[in-house]
């Protein structure tokens, strides 16, 4: 315990020595920077995780053999405790080429042209889905709501919501077909064969859904715009491999937004039967296989992480048993495992950022040490005086420890206040900076964000405050100990 | 027989300079009773100030004993020695040794803040302030309480130092050349004050000085040479 004079003298020193303001400023700046930068980063990470989560299903069964049939796998999975629904997915790479010259004046691009946006060249990850089943396992309905919203937030125009899930005709829903009249208009626009009257037109094109990022970069949004989907497959494998290309006309049936840029840029959804047929598994052929590359699984709500892991293991065991003999091991991944590399890279980046911010705090702590050490050197005589009046070494050292603590408390309080206010007003400040100086502190367009995501975690605020104070006390303990160990007689005789 | 307020018994003190041992006090025996005033005379380097520091528990003896009211105190733990220094002795130095950031009143109040917790002091702060004001009034500085040391004359600073030394009601007053930095007129006033409060409070007064005239005002004179009492 320290004597009463320690806080009294410390307070007088702090009030009369302006150099202490430097230490207070150092702590304030460090705490402010840590709170603000980390809150933005936490907001980004939180947003990214949310987007990734909304773009992924609960579990994905993948690494399946090329001839895996969906119905057999679905039957095997359906018996597992905790499974609510399943849906087939068929992934394949392909090209999408507009069937008519675009009005923008940009000529159709060949696949050999360099395009770092990956969408103007027509390459796409084709994902065949069963719309009804897909809507039961993923956020497909929500994605279709969000797609036009994302475009409407940024551009003027009529960004209609895709009707492919809502029609009364089950056959039309299965092929994601647009209304007949839309196809009639599209055919007429493109100069393709069409009936004389719209009422006589029967829609034949399967629908395709684009991610909103792809639509944005294409720059148009007409209903049932015709496209040719091209994909390739190999036959053979015994040294006589042959490449087969398959082409099919489809109609643009709307856009979706999952929140994940990679998905919204690169993925194109189309009916799974359409893709199967293109790849040689014609649904009309009784000998064809209902081939899938993945099975998306939705779990019952409220399952714990442990229960999810148990369910995943059970599904893996059942699916493996249902696969043909000699099939390689399948993989069952939860939403985090499906995006493991990306999520761990983001987490690692946040860790690195926190380390850099910790170094900022260390610099502030060093400033505290330097000012207190200087104070001890300058106040040697006072140390002798206090000892002569009856101050114990611990209390004499306490003067400098309390000084460091006071600097930390004041600096931390100011830093917390500044950090919280900055975080709350970050978007307003960003707008103001841009409006007045054309300067954008946080370029939202770079990340396709409507506003800078900023998230202050109370636990992080408490950790920063406690860490700043603890660090300041630790560094203040060094000059404090130095003062406590000084010999009073030598101090008094110091000129 | 009443034990001496301050007593040195065969006190030795030496400092080390590398491997060399430099003796400063060589077996000092000295006792100062309550109400007694003793002048410590001697040339520079005789060991007067060192003896004062050892008797005031600011420095530890290399040998011998220091006793307060007959009780050995030099072997107490450091915190107890500090508390005892606060309660039993008051120091007055040649260069006043006031804290420049504090006013005269705060410098005196400081003596009330020793060996007491911040909370306990806070509870009795009004009384402590009143006592400090009364002590400053006693040394004639009631009009200068709010002034900092830099705004006070040498004599006024020394009066503040005396007030601070007396506030804890010590049993002994140790003065190390208290007039060494003052002109003769101011010095006379300070000396008068010290002797008066020592007499009124029955303090043991030990005065280190080069001034023979000042020494003659004390009841007893002790001369030192080369770390020994010689008369």
* Helical pair A393-424 and A426-437, crossing angle rounded to 10 deg: 60
- Chain-centre distance of CA A110, in angstroms? 32
The confidence score (pLDDT) of residue A237 equals: 64
Residue of chain A whose alpha carbon sits nearest to that of B124: A4
Residue of chain B whose alpha carbon sits nearest to that of A17: B101
Residue of chain A whose alpha carbon sits nearest to that of B164: A389
Nearest residue to B170 via CA among B131, B218, B203: B203
Residues of B with CB under 8 A from a CB of A: 53, 56, 58-59, 78-79, 82-83, 85-87, 91, 93, 97-99, 101-102, 106, 110-118, 120-122, 164, 168
> Nearest-CA distance from B97 to chain A in Å?
6
| DSSP calls for A103-147 | TTSPPPPPTTS--TTSSTT-EEEEEEE-HHHHHHHS-HHHHHHHH
| DSSP calls for B136-178 | HHHTT-TTSTT--GGGS-HHHHHHHHHHHHHHT--SEEEEEST
- Chain-centre distance of CA A135, in angstroms? 22
> Nearest-CA distance from B24 to chain A in Å?
14
Q: What residues form DSSP beta bridges with A294? A: A89
Residue of chain A whose alpha carbon sits nearest to that of B122: A4
Report the largest interatomic distance among the alpha carbons of chain A, rounded to a whole angstrom: 113
User: Rounded to whole angstroms, how far apart are CA atoms B133 and B111?
Assistant: 13
Q: What angle do CA A265, A268, A273 make, to 5 degrees?
A: 165
- Chain-centre distance of CA A450, in angstroms? 14
Residue to mutate among B51, B55, B82, with most A CBs inside 10 A, is B82
B85-103 b/e (C-beta count within 10 Å ≥ 16 → b) = bbbbbbbbbbbbbbbebbb
> Nearest-CA distance from A410 to chain B in Å?
20
Q: Which of B110, B120, B122 sits opposite A389 (nearest CB)?
A: B110
User: Rounded to whole angstroms, how far apart are CA atoms A268 and A211?
Assistant: 7
Partners of residue A5 in chain B, C-beta under 8 Å: 110, 113-114
> Nearest-CA distance from A384 to chain B in Å?
9
Q: What residues form DSSP beta bridges with A315? A: none
User: Rounded to whole angstroms, how far apart are CA atoms B91 and B164?
Assistant: 9
The confidence score (pLDDT) of residue A122 equals: 79
- Say which DSSP state B58 is in: S
Count of helix runs (H) and strand runs (E) in chain A = 18, 9
Nearest residue to A126 via CA among A90, A97, A174, A98: A90
If one counts every other C-beta atom within 10 angstroms of the C-beta of residue A378, the result is 12
Residues of A with CB under 8 A from a CB of B: 1-9, 12-13, 16-17, 381-382, 384-395, 487-489, 492
> Nearest-CA distance from B225 to chain A in Å?
21
The confidence score (pLDDT) of residue A106 equals: 44
Q: Which of A129-143, A229-243, B184-198, B208-222 shows the lowest mean pLDDT across its residues? A: A229-243
Q: What residues form DSSP beta bridges with A18? A: none
Edge to edge, the sheet with strand B37-42 lists B89-93, B172-176, B204-208, B37-42, B220-225, B228-229
Partners of residue B101 in chain A, C-beta under 8 Å: 9, 12-13, 16-17
Burial class (CB in 10 A: 0-12, 13-18, 19+), B146: exposed
> Nearest-CA distance from A28 to chain B in Å?
26
Q: Is the pLDDT of residue B82 over 80?
A: yes
Phi and psi torsions of A64, nearest 5°: -90, 155
The confidence score (pLDDT) of residue A217 equals: 79
Partners of residue A394 in chain B, C-beta under 8 Å: 79
Report CA Rg, chain B: 18
């003659």: which residue's tokens? B216
User: Rounded to whole angstroms, how far apart are CA atoms A181 and B92?
Assistant: 108
Question: pLDDT: is A243 or B202 the higher one?
Answer: B202
Helical (H) or strand (E) element with B194: helix B184-201
Q: Do B85 and A6 touch (CB under 8 A)?
A: no
Interface size, chain A vs chain B, as Cβ–Cβ contacts under 8 Å: 91
ipTM of the complex: 0.92
User: Rounded to whole angstroms, how far apart are CA atoms A442 and A117?
Assistant: 22
User: Rounded to whole angstroms, how far apart are CA atoms B160 and B196?
Assistant: 15
Q: A240: which 2 tokens?
A: 């006589």
Q: A101: which 2 tokens?
A: 């010259």
Q: In A130-225, where do the E strands start and end?
A: 207-211
Residue to mutate among A6, A385, A389, A391, with most B CBs inside 10 A, is A389
The confidence band for B182, taking pLDDT boundaries of 50, 70 and 90, is confident
Helical (H) or strand (E) element with A21: helix A19-55
Partners of residue B54 in chain A, C-beta under 8 Å: none
User: Rounded to whole angstroms, how far apart are CA atoms A297 and A137?
Assistant: 6
**Around A309, how many Cα atoms within 13 Å sit in the side-chain half-sphere?**
3
Nearest residue to B157 via CA among B136, B175, B131, B130: B136
- Mean pLDDT confidence for B116-132: 93
Q: Are A218 and A119 in contact (CB under 8 A)?
A: yes
Q: Are B89 and B170 in contact (CB under 8 A)?
A: yes
Q: Do B113 and A3 touch (CB under 8 A)?
A: yes
Partners of residue A384 in chain B, C-beta under 8 Å: 97
User: Rounded to whole angstroms, how far apart are CA atoms A74 and A88?
Assistant: 8
The confidence score (pLDDT) of residue A112 equals: 47
Low-confidence ranges of chain A (pLDDT < 50): 103-112, 114, 116, 118
User: Rounded to whole angstroms, how far apart are CA atoms A48 and A207?
Assistant: 29
Partners of residue B97 in chain A, C-beta under 8 Å: 381, 384-385, 388, 492
Residue to mutate among A2, A4, A401, A493, with most B CBs inside 10 A, is A4
Q: Are B50 and B59 in contact (CB under 8 A)?
A: yes
Give the global pTM.
0.72
Q: Do A390 and B106 touch (CB under 8 A)?
A: no
User: Rounded to whole angstroms, how far apart are CA atoms A341 and A348?
Assistant: 10
User: Rounded to whole angstroms, how far apart are CA atoms A300 and A58?
Assistant: 9
User: Rounded to whole angstroms, how far apart are CA atoms A439 and A430?
Assistant: 8
Q: Is the pLDDT of residue B115 over 80?
A: yes
Q: Do A387 and B83 touch (CB under 8 A)?
A: no
> Nearest-CA distance from A392 to chain B in Å?
5
């206090």: which residue's tokens? A386
Partners of residue B110 in chain A, C-beta under 8 Å: 5, 8-9, 386, 389
């Amino acid at each position: 315990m320290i004597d009463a004079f320690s806080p009294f003298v410390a307070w007088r020193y702090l009030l009369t020595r302006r150099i202490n303001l430097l230490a207070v400023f150092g702590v304030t700046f460090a705490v402010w920077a840590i709170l603000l930068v980390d809150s933005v980063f936490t907001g980004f990470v939180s947003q990214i995780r949310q987007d990734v989560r909304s773009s992924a299903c609960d579990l994905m069964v993948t690494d399946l053999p090329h001839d895996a049939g969906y119905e057999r796998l679905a039957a095997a999975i359906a018996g597992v405790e905790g499974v609510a629904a399943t849906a087939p997915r068929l992934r394949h790479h392909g090209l999408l080429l507009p069937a008519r010259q675009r009005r923008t004046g940009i000529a159709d691009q060949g696949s050999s042209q360099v395009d770092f946006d990956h969408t103007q060249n027509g390459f796409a990850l084709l994902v065949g889905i069963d719309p009804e089943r897909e809507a039961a396992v993923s956020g497909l309905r929500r994605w279709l709501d969000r797609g036009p919203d994302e475009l409407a937030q940024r551009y003027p125009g009529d960004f209609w919501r895709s009707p492919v899930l809502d029609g009364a005709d089950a056959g039309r829903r299965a092929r994601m077909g647009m209304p007949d009249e839309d196809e009639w208009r599209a055919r007429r626009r493109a100069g393709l064969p069409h009936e004389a009257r719209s009422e006589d037109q029967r829609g034949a094109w399967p629908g395709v859904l684009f991610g909103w990022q792809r639509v944005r970069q294409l720059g148009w949004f007409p209903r049932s715009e015709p496209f040719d989907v091209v994909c390739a497959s190999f036959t053979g494998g015994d040294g006589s491999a042959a490449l087969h290309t398959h082409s099919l006309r489809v109609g643009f049936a709307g856009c979706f937004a999952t929140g994940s840029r990679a998905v919204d840029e690169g993925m194109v959804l189309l009916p799974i039967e359409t893709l199967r047929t293109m790849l040689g598994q014609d649904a009309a052929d009784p000998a064809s296989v209902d081939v899938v590359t993945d099975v998306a699984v939705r779990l019952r709500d409220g399952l714990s992480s442990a229960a999810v892991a148990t369910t995943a293991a059970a599904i893996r065991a059942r699916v493996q048993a249902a696969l043909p003999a000699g099939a390689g091991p399948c993989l069952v991944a939860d939403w985090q495992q499906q995006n493991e590399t990306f999520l761990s890279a983001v987490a690692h980046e946040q860790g690195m950022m926190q380390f850099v911010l910790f170094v900022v705090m260390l610099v502030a702590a060093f400033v505290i040490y330097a000012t207190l050490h200087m104070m001890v050197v300058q106040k040697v005589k006072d140390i002798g005086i206090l000892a002569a009046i009856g101050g114990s070494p611990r209390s004499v050292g306490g003067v400098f420890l309390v000084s460091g603590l006071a600097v930390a408390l004041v600096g931390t309080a100011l830093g917390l206040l500044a950090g919280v206010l900055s975080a709350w007003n970050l978007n307003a400040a960003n707008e103001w900076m841009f409006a007045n100086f054309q300067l954008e502190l946080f370029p939202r367009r770079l990340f396709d964000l409507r506003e800078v995501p900023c998230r202050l975690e109370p636990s992080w605020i408490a950790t920063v405050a406690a860490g700043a104070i603890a660090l300041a006390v630790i560094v203040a303990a060094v000059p404090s100990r130095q003062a406590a160990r000084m010999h009073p007689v030598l101090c008094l005789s110091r000129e | 027989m009443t034990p001496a307020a301050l007593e040195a018994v065969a006190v030795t003190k030496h400092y080390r300079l590398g491997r060399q041992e430099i003796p400063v006090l060589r077996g000092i025996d000295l006792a100062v009773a309550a109400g007694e005033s003793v002048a410590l005379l001697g040339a520079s380097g005789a060991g007067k100030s060192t003896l004062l520091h050892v008797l005031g528990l600011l420095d530890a003896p290399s040998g011998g004993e220091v006793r307060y009211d007959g009780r050995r105190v030099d072997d107490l733990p450091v915190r107890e020695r500090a508390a005892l220094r606060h309660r039993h002795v008051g120091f007055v130095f040649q260069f006043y040794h006031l804290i420049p950031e504090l006013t005269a009143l705060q410098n005196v109040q400081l003596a009330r803040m020793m060996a007491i917790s911040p909370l306990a002091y806070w509870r009795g702060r009004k009384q402590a302030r009143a006592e400090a004001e009364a002590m400053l009034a006693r040394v004639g500085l009631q009009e200068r309480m709010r002034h900092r040391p830099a705004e006070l004359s040498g004599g006024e600073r020394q009066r503040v130092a005396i007030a601070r030394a007396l506030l804890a009601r010590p049993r002994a007053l140790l003065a190390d050349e208290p007039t060494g930095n003052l002109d003769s007129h101011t010095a006379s006033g300070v000396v008068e004050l010290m002797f008066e409060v020592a007499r009124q409070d029955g303090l043991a007064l030990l005065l280190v000085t080069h001034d023979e005239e000042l020494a003659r005002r004390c009841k007893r004179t002790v001369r030192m040479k080369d770390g020994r009492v010689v008369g």
